Structure 1
Amino acid sequence: MAQTTKRALADSMKKLLAKSPLDKITVKDLVEDCGVNRQTFYYHFHDVYDLVEWIFREELAEIAREEINYSSWSEVLYRLADHLTQNRALILNVYNSVSHGEVTRYVNKAMRPYVAAVVEEQAEGVKVSLENREFVTDLCTRGAAGLMCNWIETGMRRSQLLRLEKFERAVDGSLRLMLKNFEEK
């Protein structure tokens, strides 16, 4: 039941975001649209920003539902870009309503576990400390998330999305090399 209520609130938020910026949407607007009371909303979420973060996490998890590995990580980035494009009005209303640093934090936080899984896969057989694996994870997460945020910032223009292809080329084969550069002898 809790997941059903959360999804209903998420659907209402997405519906409202298609028309209004996030900073203009209130809990009152959400509960009226969804047909639940304020107490129910606050049982599940602290505020509207918490709901938006939950939506991002859930949707990214759905996009990356299959196990991610080195050969498929870029496909997940493209699926994410397609999903964001399909929800362009919603994404731009969120992006233009909150601090851009907050959006960057959402994207980094959501993408990091998937990048970490790929880094761990590439670290197999390489004697590299956890600290250095986390450094490589942070570097790659921030690169991919930065490109995604830059794409959103430019109004999600198709030409900017081509930068993902360049990122894919730049990273191809280099994760293992980065890890080997930190290998303990």
Structure 2
Amino acid sequence: MNRTEKLIMNSFLSLLEKKPYNKIKVKDIVEDCQVNRNTFYYHFHDIPDLLNRYLKEDLDHIIHQQNNFENPVDCLITISQLIINRKEIILNIYHSMDRTIYINYLDELTLYFVNEYAKNIVSSLNQEDKEILIRFYKSALVGVLLDWVDHEISYDLISSCRRLSSLFENSQISVPLKSKTK
């Protein structure tokens, strides 16, 4: 990303901290970063293109960091910390009409982390079972994260995750996967 694109991106993110994504206009961005409209359109097609670029670059940056996960809760904690660090931006994207862009980003991010967990932990499983496990954990974690965002990131998800992990580790409770037939 060149200097002008960074300037536009930073203005966009600054505005996203203050107001919903669907209320931000190109005019707002160019006034904030003091470039003209043609400069904006030279670098980005429109605001959705700008948002997609931000999310893709953010995802690429996160993926290139070294992450080591011992359990799926570690994946959830890592993602929730990323969301907390961008709370206002995330909420302003999520509450817009275009929330599918964010949901797809969250889905891709979670899939990456769960795949990393699966690579390190479940090497004894065959490929089909590994894929089933990955899909399950990805879907469960995305569901938990979306519920958290739906609740305005208002409860302590990290503490809840640690407590959940402790409950599973210290519990004799198992969840039956088969229904009992009479």
> If the length of structure 2 is used for normalisation, what is the TM-score?
0.71
Q: Would the alpha carbon gap of residues 20 and 119 (structure 1) be closer, same or farther in structure 2, given more than 3 Å must change? A: same
Query: How far off is 1:120 after superposition?
Result: 2.5
The 2-side partners of 1:74 and 1:54 are apart by: 28
The 1-side partners of 2:29 and 2:132 are apart by: 40
Q: Would the alpha carbon gap of residues 65 and 18 (structure 1) be closer, same or farther in structure 2, given more than 3 Å must change? A: same
Out of 138, 153, 157, the position equivalent to 2:154 is 157
Query: How far off is 1:82 after superposition?
Result: 3.2
The 2-side partners of 1:169 and 1:42 are apart by: 51
Based on CA coordinates, which of the two structures has the bigger radius of gyration? Answer: 2
The 1-side partners of 2:38 and 2:131 are apart by: 40
> If the length of structure 1 is used for normalisation, what is the TM-score?
0.70
Partner of 2:31: 32
Query: How far off is 1:22 after superposition?
Result: 0.8
* SS in structure 2 at match of 1:158: coil
Partner of 1:183: none
Give unmatched runs, 5+ long, in structure 1.
173-185
Alignment RMSD: 3.1
The 2-side partners of 1:41 and 1:167 are apart by: 46
More helix as a share of residues: 1
The 2-side partners of 1:167 and 1:100 are apart by: 28
Q: Would the alpha carbon gap of residues 87 and 96 (structure 1) be closer, same or farther in structure 2, given more than 3 Å must change? A: same
The 2-side partners of 1:140 and 1:67 are apart by: 20
Q: Would the alpha carbon gap of residues 45 and 145 (structure 1) be closer, same or farther in structure 2, given more than 3 Å must change? A: farther
1:1-185 maps to which residues of 2 (within 5 A)? Answer: 2-63=1-62, 65-71=64-70, 74-75=73-74, 77-129=76-128, 132-165=129-162, 168=165
Q: How many residues align?
A: 169
The 1-side partners of 2:35 and 2:115 are apart by: 38
The 1-side partners of 2:168 and 2:42 are apart by: 42
Identity within the alignment, %: 25
